[in-house]
Structure 1
Amino acid sequence: MGETAVQMEPPECPVCLQPYEFAGSLVPRVLPCGHSVCESCLLLLPRHPATPSAVRCPACNYLVRLPDFGPSALPKNIDLLGFCSTDSRSVGRSQKPNPIYKPNPTPFLRLPWTEGLYGKWKDLLLPEESLSLVSFEDGSGASTAFFSSSHEKNRMVNLLPLDALTSCGTSSSWIRPSYVARFMDSLHRMGEERRNRLRLLLDASSRQRRGISRVYGFWMGPPEERNCLFMVCERFDRVVFDILNEERKMDKMFTLAMMGLDMCEAVIGLHSESIVCGCLFPDCFVLDEYGHCILDICKLLVSGRRIRFGGASSDSALCMSPEVYISLLSCSIASDCRFDNCLSFETDVWSLACIMAMILLGDSMVGTELFQGFGSFSAVGGKGNWSELLLDYYEVWKEKLASKIESLLLETELESLFLPLKSCLSYRPQNRPQVKDIWCCIRSFLTKTQVAPFISLEALEIKGNSVSCAIIGDPCFLLHEVNTVNVETKFYGNSVDNSNLVSLGSGTDALESSNQEKVDGSLTEMLDIDGLKSFSLDGHLDCVTALAVGGGYLYSASFDKTVKVWSLQDFSLAQTLKGHEHKIMAMVVVDEALKLCITGDSGSGISVWHIGSSASHELLKNWYEHNDWRYSGIHSLAVSGTSYLYSGGGDKSVKAWSLQDYSLSCVMTGHKSTVSSLALSDGVLYSGSWDGTIRLWSLSDHSLLSELEDTTTFSPCPVLSLSIDQNLVISSYENGFIKVWKNDMFVASMQLQEGAIFGLHADSSWIYAGGWDMIVTILETFEDDLQVEVRPVASAKFDSVVTCLLHHCGKVFVGVSNKIQVLYSRSV
């Protein structure tokens, strides 16, 4: 049965059973007894004969007194209004949101990745500051750093570069992608198949209780040094051969048994996740702080680099199974030897047995004679029967090695291990036992009995025969240093997922072809930071303080006491509006039937211009809010359609002016400092102040509705700017923070810059913020029923303080000093 979403019914009046509304006759009024009733029902309740001003509460039957001015003088139940539908805010109202914040369908940036991709990988991205003292030079193929988290401090880790392609936006000096954006772009370029194989390996590392090293997550290198994606892995300094080289007596048999048990469990752990290594190397097994043998994921992946460099001629060939080695030598030889379907779980069994033989014999070169002989056959050049010659030569080598192992194990407690080890070295993969058979043999030796009954052998079973990930053939782990490998062999087969085995020893041509196809095929699906351009509009003589769009024009106000009008078609200067005697500090444009441009200055002067059909603008009205020298003038303006103009200033109040006759209609008081910003949405006026508060006022009666609460900070910080995007309210502060409210409930806070943020604009799930740090930060917002996420995407650097911001039709207009910088994408 499908699940149905449970929706909370809006609160309703206990008398008329009608849902409460934010304004009008259905506003919930709180009686002195604490119960709430809608305003219309309070007017209809019967009055007490002895006290006409009193009524009985319909909920508790207490006699309560009504104010002399009627029920409308009772306080509103703000808590009940918080549960009302946001649609009810605009019931019965003709006001419309401020046209400056009208949603625009054209984004400034287009993100190629989906929200599902981000949600799947975001928790694996480590904080940029979690790594310190990063060293990008290491002969092992991996870099090193110190990792710190809430659980660990300054732990040394390995950094493994995952992709040969660098991430986006490294050539531009003035705009840079954010840390998160570079991570997501790198994952996006990786492709779905390679991401799935990488995730499979990470899941195997996290699910195994022991035996496999830990992968902490991912980290993006600095753009100026190594701009690529790194996998952060646990680092171990001691390998298994170190303990054998120590100059002290030890029980070699017991040491082999303990290490062999741990090795088998590690390989079984990978096989249980359908991961085949393809080739295991001695230094892939390390010792942790407790002396346990661990399979090092980082060293395992770096080992693949050795094969890509040297192929069958490298020293890494000493642990390759014969089917892998022969396939690297020649595709035709592998076909003659029937090694087409060579990669399987039994491939790792051979490498594991070879490593155990090295430990037992104390000789790391046990495979030298074998593969030197194989190489000499290859040099002959196609003479003779390859299959029989190689098989005969291999059997001779195998018997020599088996006799050495048998002489050591004979008449010892590990004698029963000889036959399984010999079977593991079989030429044909299908003749080799499973890893669990070796594990059971060693376990029996350590416990001096048969495998304990509490051991679940089902846990050691391999689920299915399909190989989902082959590490040494996975191009996801190609390193930057990969150059040339003269190998033509590719693996294909029924038991192996061919898409996971691009090439076991893929050369430069194959790599470049794969990368070129990936780049050329998705140019329109990448985060094109380098495609962003900019130009400037010059004309002001002092700081630009406000920007607005209306009637096909861009308006810019300045401390030079003028307003510049720019054409949005060719960005030419159409007109300069003059009339202020003081610095202009705020501006708003009415783009309704009656088009107006309204400005306010530091001397409390307000000017209203009529916007004509041409470039002409007529000054309609000019007046002063007050003449008190103690206050710093007009700091913010907002309009409600063609009904009211709202001004906020240094007198700590918000004033409502009629746009019909420009008379003062109402004064809203309550703030304790300058009202720095105003914004409107759905019948509500939001006012931000230097006192650190944001108040909500009803546009119908100009009464106080509530105050936005934020319990994350104890000391208030001045609010510098407000912006509204649908049901989100975003505010910026003097300390470089922005805060986000959804449906008037606090949901997020983030410090974007060190200095104050003066300019802020939210539009169509994007936020643009800039200020004292001379940087504009571009952020993306994502919201669902449970949370709101704010994610930095990019930042642009300017040569002066950013004073104001505006996004319109895919362009970002930035007020910088005495000019306007226009940012746009070449695709817009």
Structure 2
Amino acid sequence: MEPPECPVCLQCYNGDCSVPRVLACGHTACEECLTNLPKKFPDTIRCPACTVLVKFPPQGPSALPKNIDLLRLFPSTSRVTVEPGRNLKKSVEFVIRSWSDDFYAIWKDRILLHDAVSVENGEGEGSDLASSFTDCLKDDSTVSLLRVASFQHDDCDSVLKYSYVQRMMSCLWGMREEERNEIDAMISLKQRGISKVIGLWGDLKNGVLYLVGEKLTGFSWEEFDNLTEDDTSCLAMIGMQICEALLNLHKEGIFTGCLSVSCVKFDEFGNAFVDLIELLVTGRNVYRLIAEETSSFGKPVGALEMRMILVRLLQKGIFMSSEVLFELLKEQNVLIKNASSKDLVSYSSDVWPVCFLLLKLLLGKRFSEELIESVNCVDPKGCDKGIEDLLLLYTGITEKLSSIIETELGGKFKPIIRILSQCCCLDPQARPALNDLWKCIRELVVYSRFSSIIGLNKPISGKRKEYSLVLGELCRLVEVGSKELEEEFPGMKNGTEAGEGKVDIDFVGRLAEGKMKSKDMRGHQDSVTGLAVGGGFLFSSSLDKNILVWSLKDFSHVHTFKGHQDKVMALIHIEGAEPVCVSGDGGGGIFVWSTTFPLEEQPLRKWYEPKDWRYTGIHALAYSEYGHVFSGSGDNTIKAWSLQDGSLVCTMTGHKSVVSTLVVQNGVLYSGSWDGNVRLWSLSDHSLLTMLGEETPGIIRSILSLAADDQTLVAAYQNGDIQIWRDNTLMKSMQIQSSAILSIAVNGKWVFTGGWDKTVNVQELSGNEISLDCTHVGSIPGSSVITSLLYWEGKLFAGFADTTIKVYYSGR
């Protein structure tokens, strides 16, 4: 049997160094860890095992009882002898890392979990681009991979086996800064018409770091052969979307100068996208092709070699601006004489490949065949190795292209003949702007007299680093280990389910789009005071002294609980072996109703709270796992009752005004009061743990409602404010409305509030452990004061003062 250990430091207990001390919740931790644990509130501590707030003696952990049973497992303990003068607190790092905290903070969120991508098949062949991958961040979505770095398959020389994230961070740290900058730019790019780059993923088996991108649907280019004039609008839409995607790249300071037929992909709605991963693959293919064609020459590129390169590019469906190709050749040290093309590489370099790609779409296979024929017809004899002479080959392409445009385009294509001819000009400065090409193509689809207000005339401004994607660092990575990069990687499949929060996101999304439906539920004769869900029913209480039961399937009224002699103020549902509904009224009555079908009109049991001259009834109810029903009363107290027989267990005092709301969450009872304070009580011994929202002298903001979800607690105030706590730390205080908030509901990151302004306001929470933001998402206007709110499985229930209950939902 393994010896028991402290849940904090993982050291085995003994009677000398690690003394086990028992907390009020029953869990044990060593004395030294209890001393060092943070204490947010006086005389309280959060148990490291169950996270429940418990009382902590002011004398320290030595006042807590020892766990004798654990100590009996250690009949003999070895005493540690400390050498005189030895500094035991000297910090010695076990692992020294090279990167800084800032570097880790930047890149840790860009590394996908190791389980995010998994291998489906064992072997395969192909290019850098993975053919079938699945990403766990989305619903069974297919992604593509691009190799960006390599690392050691395993730590053979180290006893310590580094974690997945540590190895990925080490791999990134070993890359050049220019490479990391480009990777960061790809991941951060969130422009319309550009495929998403999700993050980085490491293949531990093969020791490869991949860039993971969204994989969209390609199509067969053979489908574009023999197009008719009726297909003009479809082609024009594709052309417009390609131009828009590249213009969005220009906004980020990125231009390509190169496109291939495989770079254009489509989403499920038929919208054309430019695939970033495919763009990088195309750039690597160009580097590889140049290396293959020039490796055997051993001399600068001449017209003959240039012709071979151009033919290979056209055969692979790659269209590249002349100035970009010459700059690549110069960087490969195979173009020496008069190599001054770098200044010509700019945003206008994208117009050339777009023009060729559009004509490829329009004319199909024969377009590439005619261009190859035009290159082969150029006589390379007498050509030197300078750019001016090598441009003769590109001149053959442009002349052929002009001829094709004049002879092949007609009908609806006539308006764009002139601008397409200008796009293939060898002088980049003489080419039209990409936005002008977009406008010309747009006129094939629709002509609008409002075209003058389109914002594409705005020049690209702002200080940013401008670079060509094909000339960047990620495409050059093909030079190292090119044989390995030619391997095809197998498909990958997702191993986890979709992320949480779908219902909530859909709810707020439909709310913003106006697609939510609502239905009125009428039956009460007075204001609705409470809502609860359980056992397949919705329960509603009212000032009319009745509790109505509604079907959650069609929201119809199915039953009525009768018996209260006073207005019903609070309502809860308790799941268990005997599911029940508990209600409290203004006369101090607490009724327990069976929710097992068939439903009965009379309660299972009932009891009454003692009254005094200041008594104003029961305002709130809550239930704990210990079998206790808690009631918040007008006499400023909280009482714990046994659910079995209704006997009074204890009375908790401390509030200075009416206890208006109660919530049980994470082993703690939270109570809100008109005195403006939130008090935390232990569920085990009902003692006061601490208090939130200390009252400010001269200012009293009555708390009318509390709501909790996981570690988040939200309090609603009479003046329209809300306060948000996480782990009992105040994170946000803000005003939602100008009048009292009577009810609040929290579910995940969504907060719903309602009150005197007759509107349900929807807020979205975002942030981290350090900071939290609360953003207003939208609102739902109501017909009356909103007195109660309940969110359940994508449906929002609202109770109104005009006796109506509304349910907001989607679908039928």
TM-score, length-scaled by structure 1: 0.44
